[in-house]
Amino acid sequence: MTATENLITLLKKHWGYDTFRGSQQDIITAALHKQDVLALLPTGGGKSLCYQLPAVAQEGIAIVVSPLIALIQDQVGSLKAKGVKALGLTGKMSQNEVIQCLDNAAYGGYKLLYLSPERLQQEIVLDRLAELNVSLVAIDEAHCISQWGHDFRPAYLQCIKIRDIHPEVPIMALTATATKRVISEIQSRLDLRIEQVYKDSFHRPNLAYRVLYTENKKRALYDAINDHKGSKIVYVRLRRSTEKLRDGLRQNGTTALAYHGGLSTLERKEALSSWMKGETTIMVATTAFGMGIDKSDVRAVIHYEIPESIESYFQEGGRAGRDGLPAKAILIVGPNDESQSRRQFLSYLPDLDILKKVYHHLVNHFQIAYAEGKGITYPFHFGTFCAAYDLEPRMCFKALEIFDQQGILALSQNFRHRSMLQFTASKKQLWSYLDSHPENRDILELIVRSYGGVFDAMTFINLASLTKKGAGSETTIRNVLSQLVTDQIAKVEFQDHDVEVTFLEPREDEKSILRKRETIEKNRRVKIENLEHMLKYIDCQEQCRSIQLLAYFGEEFDRRCGICDVCLSDRPQIKKEKFSVKRDIQAALIDSSFSSDQLAKKIQADKDLIIECLQELLEDELIRVTLNNQYELI
């Protein structure tokens, strides 16, 4: 059997495919020949196969660096289902659990070991990795190593340590979005010894990019959802926005769920399962949702708010139509969205003085002595902290995020009052207790159904989630839990903080900030540039959307896609013109009512276009016709 035939056999056996896609086979062959690889494959282009298959095809174990714990868990579970032995260093594992996991990697016949880049900061992990028979090192989402990238994570800079301890082992860096300068920085940071960059075209002929200008965003969203059958993702920035929009969609008669980091693990798991099975067609989510989720039949990805960069927009929109069938990536833009985006992304982007101020208040708040504090975790209530020191909350939280990105501290967000509970009574004793306290039965039975391990160990329970499920108010639940402690039925710990910070280096006052000054200022410039590129893309109505996006990533493409909003318009400026004319009509009608002829003269626009805009405003119930056949605002 030839080498190629062997690869095809493994591909069929474990993944069920008969042929490779794009550059997959060339990338895999290069890795098997011990060559470093830098691969740029579009979302849905099969990046994971490029390192998973060579890991299976040769002796030893492949180390995979991946940014998200959920993504690691998903891939490990998927590989196990395919009959491939894989394991991951995930979550808050104890040192003994880490050692056991690494022992399994060394002696258990495993083919892949997944870990987050933060694990490479632990000496025990590096020492044990040095003892492994490593066949390949794969750096997934490699753009995270670049300070010019849209998702820079300083921990990714630790990846070079694997090259130091295994200099002969090939490194494979993979990403779905990278500009030329990001590519250059990936090569430099990882010391890649490569002769060529493997890059499949980012062009998605089945994916229609649409920028939809509208006066009524909710109406436009409902229309977009009703126009597309099958699964859809609606992206927003804030957690509270996911729930607000979900409720609106449900009232409009659609099945929708919300997904964000503030939900409990069980709630996220149930929501994802319902969406994956098609029981719920619409997922309203923050932008982390979708990464690593293998659902190829998403028919539309809708951005309800302007993304912060073209990279994130392209990656998120690319989650639609991965099965090759027609799909759409829709960006809904309202009258004030562009100015609001500048305000949200840039106005609250802290400068060096703000960062020094927040750090100073933080260390004083926790009474950390100079040169102390490293490794200590401090829980606190974020709103109370901001009020105590007169800090603007959004600016302050951005500062905490920057400290987290720069490795000054680790930020953990709960955002809800969480409590811990363990029943010390047996199940039989609990049921007997409920017979004598029937008023507590509904609450306690709901807890038992929702949290399976609550008899075995202290378990986090989400009071807000229990309230939504009908258990009563949080105060009622707290009173019941407190009574359990008094009656010696359970142990309970109430946690009333919503943020935790763990200092990763000792207090050094301004030195901690100034040492990172160049990187912080560079990242600030990158964020400003990224948003301006995004807004320029939105405003450009003269060039095919696909051509614009591909040019941003350095790919020349001279054929119009024929399916984007620009290509479909006979008059390239029509949507922008409509947007402006509608705005002018509404402004004119604030103080008086006018006929269409009067409006045409007043705002000096084409009469046919005025009538078309008036008709759409009437349909959106933003204006109405008076008895004397004039138009007025509702």
Backbone angles phi, psi at 393, to 5 degrees: -55, -45
> Which CATH number characterizes residue 349's domain?
1.10.10.10
pTM listed for this prediction: 0.69
pLDDT-derived band at 317 (thresholds 50, 70, 90) equals: very high
In a domain, 535, yes or no: no
In a domain, 613, yes or no: yes
Q: How far apart are the first and last CA of the chain?
A: 75
> Which CATH number characterizes residue 322's domain?
3.40.50.300
CA–CA separation, 142 and 134 (whole Å): 19
Both 411 and 427 in one domain: the answer is: no
Both 27 and 145 in one domain: the answer is: yes
Of 95 and 275, which is predicted with more confidence? Answer: 275
In a domain, 279, yes or no: yes
In a domain, 27, yes or no: yes
| Number of structural domains in the chain | 5
Query: Of the residues 199, 219, 235, which one is the last residue of a structural domain?
Result: 199
Both 79 and 164 in one domain: the answer is: yes
> Could you give the maximum distance between any two Cα atoms of the chain, in Å?
87
> What mean pLDDT comes out for the span 56-75?
87
In a domain, 371, yes or no: yes
> What mean pLDDT comes out for the span 602-624?
80
In a domain, 533, yes or no: no
Q: What is the mean pLDDT of the chain?
A: 86
pLDDT at res. 574: 56
CA–CA separation, 386 and 400 (whole Å): 12
Both 481 and 622 in one domain: the answer is: no
pLDDT at res. 572: 47
> What mean pLDDT comes out for the span 611-629?
81
Q: What is the secondary structure of 213-272 as a DSSP string? A: E-S-HHHHHHHHHHT--SEEEEE-SSHHHHHHHHHHHHHTT--EEEE-TTS-HHHHHHHH
pLDDT tens readout for residues 393-409: 888 988 998 888 787 88
In a domain, 95, yes or no: yes
**Torsion 132-138-139-140 (CA) sign:** negative
- Residue 416 pLDDT greater than 60, yes or no: no
pLDDT at res. 254: 86
Both 549 and 583 in one domain: the answer is: no
Both 34 and 169 in one domain: the answer is: yes
- Residue 417 pLDDT greater than 60, yes or no: no
Strand order in the sheet with 499-503: 377-380, 499-503, 409-413
pLDDT tens readout for residues 96-119: 888 899 999 999 899 999 998 888
Both 141 and 12 in one domain: the answer is: yes
Both 23 and 164 in one domain: the answer is: yes
- Residue 497 pLDDT greater than 80, yes or no: no
Both 100 and 235 in one domain: the answer is: no
pLDDT-derived band at 568 (thresholds 50, 70, 90) equals: confident
In a domain, 473, yes or no: yes
pLDDT-derived band at 341 (thresholds 50, 70, 90) equals: confident
Query: Of the residues 565, 582, 614, which one is the last residue of a structural domain?
Result: 565
23 and 67 Cβ atoms separated by less than 8 Å: no
Both 162 and 186 in one domain: the answer is: yes
Both 558 and 578 in one domain: the answer is: no
For residue 370, the enclosing domain spans 343-415+499-527
How, if at all, do strands 171-175 and 134-139 pair?
Answer: parallel
pLDDT at res. 573: 53
Both 161 and 94 in one domain: the answer is: yes
